[in-house]
Chains A and B, each alone.
Chain A
Amino acid sequence: MQTTRNFVRCRLAPRFLLAYLCLCTPVLAQQEQVALRGGKLLTVSHGTIDDGVVVMENGRITAVGSVNLVHVAKNARVIDVKGMTVYPGLIDSETALGLTEISAEPMTNDLIESSEEIMPHMHVYDAFHAESELIPVTRLNGITNAIVAPANRDTLPGQDSFVQLAGRSAEEMLLVRDVALPLNFSGEQRRDERGESRKFPSTRMGLAAQLRQTFLDAQDYAQRWTDYEKRKADYEKAKSEAPAKADDKNQGKDKKQPPSPPKHDLKLEALLPYLEGKKLVVLAAEEANDLETAVGLTREFNLKFVLNHISHAQSVLDYVASLKVPVIVGPIYEDPKPDERYDAVYSLPAQLNKRGVKIAFASYDAHNSRNLPYQAGFATAFGLPHEEALKAVTLNAAEIWGVADRLGSLDVGKTANIVVANGDPLDVKTDVKQVFIEGKEIPMTSRQTRLRDQYSEQ
């Protein structure tokens, strides 16, 4: 890539000019404008533009279009990306980034608080390690955003955060705290499967009963607070109406005490936004039977949910489609079961897409999050259209996590998370040349590139 300070000849259609001017407030105009010119733009939202331009300013995309239609300011920094492919930053819909450094070294891991099954008051943002060496490694492959989730060993292990993989601090990188609540129901969350310590819950019945009781307790907790608020309001009202009688020396000392609030319970409190349907539950199951049980549970409590994994639910895909919820699918590298064909899991994304289900991919990993795009690419070899595969690591994910107003496509107004690569984003051969996060050129270095360079010099 060559950087030049010239600009594209202005052959601007009036409507584009108008759109452009509307977005350029005087303050923004003072910021440096950066234009990526001449690349093949995969906008995700409105098709491919060969020989296109993306303009960024003040961290946002201010123009997207064909070279001969987009105006670039005279003083803009123009980066020639001819022959390159330009696409929105990829979004990994489940990772452990920032929660782990070296898998086998316990002191570097904060993946799960495993003391109990029901831990919705655990917030990954409290552990998110912004300086993790894994983050530069990941973003060098064009992944700019991710869900950080606790490990799935418990049914309710804590709440996810949605992060941006660059920033000066965790504060800056945590775009949405407590974005969703994972609910894992695959039988793997059982305690003490061999029955050695007789610890509850050791069966799926136990897991389901425990979850049900928890949500009932949370409803009850909510009710207690509602009742309290009402009593408190009544008291305040009575008190405000009382001043006239303030001098009454017979004022009931016992009757007019303010109501005392219920005790706070962080665990139950954490569940309230989910019971109110304000936030998303990420419902994980593998097999058809678990899926149906888990969906039943969410229905009992009117939870708003998306599905996760469902790698072995091939027999109920029509049912899955009828739920009209998105699916975080995979990982498609999961082994097929002995009675399944070799490609039973590989073809799941295509099967879901065919049924109109919105899908997103996740690495379910930290160190290997950088390989997210290849999973999407591989799914195309088993019938998923390429365009849909790219959506499943960009716009679909942004929509699922409620950030599509900011991320997921090359559109004016969105955050300038942009990747420049020398080819197809989903292919292993493709080399990512430059990543922009919020319009900033990310240094294309990591601990790994430094080691490479150090030992190449010899």
Chain B
Amino acid sequence: MFLRSLPCQSCARTMAGLLSMVLLAGSAPAQNPPGTPHNEVLIKNALVMTATHGNIPNANVYVKDGKIAAVGKDVSAPASATVVDAEGKYLTPGIIDSHSHIALDNDVNEATSPVTPHMMMIDAFDYQDKAIYHGLAGGVTTSLLLHGSANMIGGQAVVIKHKYGANRDAMLFPGAPRSIKFASGENPKRVYGGRDQLPSTRMGNFAVQREALVQAQDYMREWDAYEAKVKDGDKDATPPKRDLKLEALADVLRGKLLVQIHCYRADEMLTEIAMAKEFGYKLRAFHHALEAYKVADQLADAGVGIATFSDWWGFKQEAWDAIPWNAVMAMRKGVRVAIKSDSEDFARRLNQEAGKTMRYGGATEEEALRMITLNAAWIIGVEDRVGSIDVGKDADLVIWDGYPLSSYGVPSKVFIDGDLYFDRSLPGFGMPHYKEGM
């Protein structure tokens, strides 16, 4: 709800910040007042990796009003634009992490009940968490901050841009759709089973989920009936009592939320697909999905994506059949695949993780890049806004020292909405907008 009502805050930063930063290397510039127009930027001579239409060597990208305004070899900009020479460097879209729990100050799981769809992660959002900076320095510009997997039905996610040093509201991704976290498998049964509570088995897991959805159906019917009466002019109609929990689930049934399911095993993915069909909601993505390669056809048919690890395995029983070819095998069957971090550590080097898909299964360079940009954007539901270097998209861009899909790629500069948020060449933390102790 917060997300829908937020105005675009990206205007709070301007390229004046960039200029003063370059001049006063290290000292934090004063924030420009909201509403100040962005400066223009021309990133020149980069090897541009667009993620949608191949690589363009020695190309320029012109950024205006926080958006990508032009891309190509002959693109120029007015003399007023700030020129950033990226000769010998690579330019990619900002990296998007479609599964993160950073900046929540350990409030990841409301593990007091297996059904908590009314938890709003934004209420725990710790915008000063240094993990946002560490991700930024690794080229991450957007993250989906999810509830944990203790509950079969967890809370609602918040989508952030890694504008470390900005105020809280400026970090929220304006207009991002709402996502809700579901879980399955070992975590819920361990958390509640360990307390002799329901669920302690996979039967229990799905029973809890089904029961909650049935209640939500009833709740939705009551409200539909009430609204029908109001529509018919019944002035005596009394509204049912509002219940935040069921209201959130009713929104799932109404298709207003993107359903993101923590799920490792193939059989559970199939059960979740069947249950979604039974109750008439749509699944956006399976997260972790380490056995997706076993049921890739079914996932493709259901139109559900996956947000997976590149090669993490063996940390628990349900990760025992994980194989590093999972991402590419699923992709070849038509599944939309993202590589995500689920970790403060991996978030800092998702580019390497994506690079591994070229080796395990032979993803092409652009396919690998899309797994941490455009496909991740699709999972979050912001693919029309970010995730590629295309005209009209947010100017979330990373200039890399070294080939990004390798062990050697390191962000040199990171722009979000056209503003410079990270610059490796600066002393101190390398952040023009950040001042210690703010």
Contact = CB atoms under 8 A, between A and B. Distances in A.
Contact of B430 (A103, A338, A342): A342
Contacts of B197: none
Interface in B315-347: 315-317, 319-325, 329, 344-345
A134 B322 CA distance: 12
Contacts of B294: 455
Given A341-B430, A342-B137, A448-B324, A427 B408 contact: yes
B315 A367 contact: yes
Interface string A358-373: 0000000011101101
Contact of A428 (B134, B186, B319, B355): B355
Contact of A371 (B311, B314, B317, B409): B311
A195 B82 CA distance: 58
Nearest to A430: B359
Contacts of A381: 401-402, 407-410
Interface string B288-299: 000001100000
B320 A102 contact: yes
B345 A429 contact: no
B130 interface: yes
Query: Interface majority SS on B: helix, strand, loop or mixed?
Result: loop
B406 interface: yes
Contacts of A382: 410
Interface in A346-400: 366-368, 370-371, 373-374, 377-378, 380-382
B408 A377 contact: yes
Given A342-B134, A378-B349, A378-B352, A429 B359 contact: yes
Given A102-B314, A378-B349, A381-B401, A427 B429 contact: no
A129 to B, nearest CB: 14
A205 B160 CA distance: 44
Nearest to B427: A341
A201 interface: no
A429 B406 contact: yes
Given A455-B293, A455-B329, A429 B355 contact: yes
Contact of A104 (B130, B317, B358): B317
Contacts of A101: 314
Most chain A CB atoms below 10 A, which of B312, B352, B407: B407
Contacts, number: 105
Contact of A448 (B323, B344, B348): B323
Contacts of B223: none
Interface residues of A, number: 38
A182 B410 CA distance: 34
Contacts of B134: 335-336, 342
B54 interface: no
Nearest to B368: A429
Nearest to A373: B407
Interface string A419-458: 0000000111111000000000000000011011001100
A338 B130 contact: yes
A200 interface: no
Interface string B275-317: 0000000000000000001100000000000000001111111
Most chain B CB atoms below 10 A, which of A134, A342, A427, A452: A342
A372 to B, nearest CB: 11
B127 interface: no
B206 interface: no
Contact of A452 (B293, B311, B344): B293
Query: Interface majority SS on A: helix, strand, loop or mixed?
Result: loop
Contacts of A370: 311
B194 interface: no
Contacts of A430: 359
Interface string B133-145: 1100110000000
A429 B358 contact: yes
Given A102-B315, A368-B312, A452-B329, A342 B408 contact: no
Interface in A223-268: none
B428 interface: yes
Contacts of A341: 428-430
B323 A374 contact: no
Given A336-B134, A451-B321, A456 B329 contact: yes
A405 interface: no
Contacts of B133: 342
A116 interface: no
B316 A105 contact: yes
Nearest to A100: B314
Contacts of A342: 133-134, 137-138, 348, 429-430
B405 interface: yes
Contacts of A333: 345, 348-349
B343 to A, nearest CB: 10
A343 B359 contact: no
The 10 A-B residue pairs with the shortest CB-CB distance in the complex, in nearest-first order: A377-B407, A104-B316, A342-B137, A367-B314, A428-B355, A448-B323, A103-B315, A381-B410, A452-B325, A381-B408
Interface of A: 101-105, 134, 333, 335-336, 338-339, 341-343, 366-368, 370-371, 373-374, 377-378, 380-382, 426-431, 448-449, 451-452, 455-456
Given A367-B315, A374-B407, 7 more contacts: A102-B315, A367-B312, A380-B407, A427-B407, A428-B359, A448-B313, A455-B294
